[in-house]
Amino acid sequence: MRIGMLTGGGDCPGLNAVIRAAVRKGIQHYGDEFVGFMEGWRGVIDNVTMPLDLKTTSGILHKGGTILRSSRTNVKKIPGGFEKCLETIEKNKLDALIALGGDDTQSISLALSEREVKCVGVPKTIDNDLSGTDVCFGFDTAVTIATEAVDRLHSTAEAHNRVLVVEVMGRDAGWIAITAGIAGGADAILVPEKPIDIDEVCRLLKYRHDHGKKFAIVVAAEGAQFPEGGQATQGTSVDSFGHVRLSGIGQALAEEIEKRTKYETRSVNLGHTQRGGTPTAYDRMLATRYGVAAIDLVHAGKFGQLVVLKGTQITSIPIADAISKTRTVGEDLFDVMTSLQPPKSTV
Ligand code: F6P
């Protein structure tokens, strides 16, 4: 078969591992040929390609980013976009297309599936917010980086008797914040799923201070909600999928905490550091399993499907089910978080 492949949306560690695994299994076990599209859907619209073979996918397993590059190109917003995609697919004589991406990228896979294109999706996002899969590759690496940052910030916070507010990514889901927060032993964790309760944050910090620890760490998800509603944003412009850039909650919280508690407070925004660099062993393994599963799905003729992880097993679900709703943090993890904090009755 001739199979196209692309990576769309924000990059994430493990993309190259998926590409390598799919190409290796496809060429060596099924006799497939591959066409790599550059910069997500933009490459399909403009027919910009690179060869994907055993040579071009060699030595990339441990590398972050994506050899196919990425973009947030929304085919729906480009006049004649879908027609151009169909032309490219025809020109390259493709039998199938594998798209690696989150909900925005997969919404285009779905629209193309509805136009008879044989698409298979692979769930990618450090935010871990795609429904239907227990884990997206890239998440483990982002959490590992954020946890290491929280560990490192402890010593400098302690040396200066400071509160440090660490802002992490995640868009409208608090997976990175709650996981890195609990794993890193943060004193307060703020996520988009629960509106910020600044009185409660200050109570936790004051309790800690009064019990002998003159420093503290707060982890805040970039998408944490102000009590009156709304999120901290950088400007008002939106990307082609309508997302505003989230940023600034860490600084806003640091100012408010210092004002209320009088403890010296600073903020650190981990930003794109969380997405860069080499994937963890867990992400390399998961990405490799997804790559193999994607090519097997193509050969099983199961199109319009997304490979997913359920428990410890790789399986697949309709792409439509994966993008219908953001997967957010459940009460079980909030319970773990609050179990580690002094209850409200303790002042
Ligand atoms: O969706 C992944 C993500 O890293 C989010 O956590 C973040 O809000 C966003 O992408 C940032 O995207 P960029 O800076 O690449 O536009």
The CATH number covering residue 92 comes to 3.40.50.450
- Distance, CA 110 to ligand 1 centroid (Å)? 22
Q: Is 224:190 a contact under the CB 8 Å cutoff?
A: yes
Domain boundary among 211, 245, 276: 276
- Distance, CA 344 to ligand 1 centroid (Å)? 34
Can you give the pLDDT at residue 248? Answer: 96
Instruction: Judge whether 153 lies within some domain.
Output: yes
The mean per-residue pLDDT over the stretch 56-68 comes to 98
For a pLDDT cut of 90, what percent of the chain falls above it? Answer: 97
Return the best residue to mutate from 107, 168, 245 for the ligand 1 pocket (most ligand atoms within 8 A of CB): 245
SS3 state at 339? helix
Regarding whether 235 and 147 lie in a shared domain, the answer is yes
Measured CA to CA, the distance from residue 299 to residue 28 in angstroms comes to 14
Q: Is 67:59 a contact under the CB 8 Å cutoff?
A: no
Regarding whether 218 and 190 lie in a shared domain, the answer is yes
With bands split at pLDDT 50, 70 and 90, how would you rate the model's confidence at 113?
Answer: very high
Return the best residue to mutate from 74, 136, 137, 171 for the ligand 1 pocket (most ligand atoms within 8 A of CB): 171
Residue with CA closest to ligand 1 atom 2: 10
Regarding whether 106 and 177 lie in a shared domain, the answer is no
Model confidence at 52: pLDDT above 80:
yes
Q: Which atom of ligand 1 is nearest to the CA of 169?
A: 6
Exactly one of 103, 104, 127, 187 is catalytic; name it: 127
Q: Is 179:143 a contact under the CB 8 Å cutoff?
A: yes
Buried b (16+ CB within 10 A) or exposed e, 171-193: bbbbbbbbbbbbbbebbbbbbbb
Identify the burial level of 73 via C-beta atoms within 10 angstroms of its C-beta, where 0-12 means exposed, 13-18 middle and 19 or more buried: buried
Measured from CB, residues less than 6 Å from any atom of ligand 1 are 10, 102, 125-127, 169-171, 222, 246, 275
Can you give the pLDDT at residue 127? Answer: 97
Q: Which atom of ligand 1 is nearest to the CA of 223?
A: 8
Total domains in the fold of the chain: 2
Predicted confidence (pLDDT) per residue in 6-34, tens digit: 999 999 999 999 999 999 999 999 999 99
Instruction: Judge whether 216 lies within some domain.
Output: yes
Regarding whether 238 and 252 lie in a shared domain, the answer is yes
Regarding whether 284 and 267 lie in a shared domain, the answer is no
Model confidence at 346: pLDDT above 90:
no
Instruction: Judge whether 331 lies within some domain.
Output: no
Regarding whether 253 and 150 lie in a shared domain, the answer is yes
Instruction: Judge whether 346 lies within some domain.
Output: no
With bands split at pLDDT 50, 70 and 90, how would you rate the model's confidence at 158?
Answer: very high
Range of the domain at 258: 140-276
Residue with CA closest to ligand 1 atom 8: 171
Model confidence at 99: pLDDT above 80:
yes
Judged by phi (left if over 0) then psi (alpha if -120 to 50, else beta), residue 66 lies in: beta
Regarding whether 116 and 10 lie in a shared domain, the answer is yes
Q: Which atom of ligand 1 is nearest to the CA of 222?
A: 8
- Distance, CA 245 to ligand 1 centroid (Å)? 8
The mean per-residue pLDDT over the stretch 212-241 comes to 95
With bands split at pLDDT 50, 70 and 90, how would you rate the model's confidence at 347?
Answer: low
- Distance, CA 10 to ligand 1 centroid (Å)? 6
Q: Is 65:15 a contact under the CB 8 Å cutoff?
A: yes
Alpha-carbon torsion (317, 319, 321, 327), positive or negative:
positive
Instruction: Judge whether 341 lies within some domain.
Output: no
CATH of the domain at 260: 3.40.50.460
Model confidence at 261: pLDDT above 80:
yes
Specify whether 127 is catalytic: yes
The mean per-residue pLDDT over the stretch 235-257 comes to 95
- Distance, CA 346 to ligand 1 centroid (Å)? 38
Domain boundary among 243, 276, 309: 276
With bands split at pLDDT 50, 70 and 90, how would you rate the model's confidence at 324?
Answer: confident
pTM beyond 0.95: yes
Regarding whether 23 and 114 lie in a shared domain, the answer is yes
Regarding whether 256 and 170 lie in a shared domain, the answer is yes
Instruction: Judge whether 25 lies within some domain.
Output: yes
Regarding whether 147 and 106 lie in a shared domain, the answer is no
Residue with CA closest to ligand 1 atom 12: 10
Regarding whether 287 and 241 lie in a shared domain, the answer is no
Residue with CA closest to ligand 1 atom 10: 10
SS3 state at 3? strand
Can you give the pLDDT at residue 345? Answer: 77
Q: Which atom of ligand 1 is nearest to the CA of 246?
A: 8
Q: Which atom of ligand 1 is nearest to the CA of 171?
A: 8
Model confidence at 154: pLDDT above 90:
yes
Identify the burial level of 248 via C-beta atoms within 10 angstroms of its C-beta, where 0-12 means exposed, 13-18 middle and 19 or more buried: middle
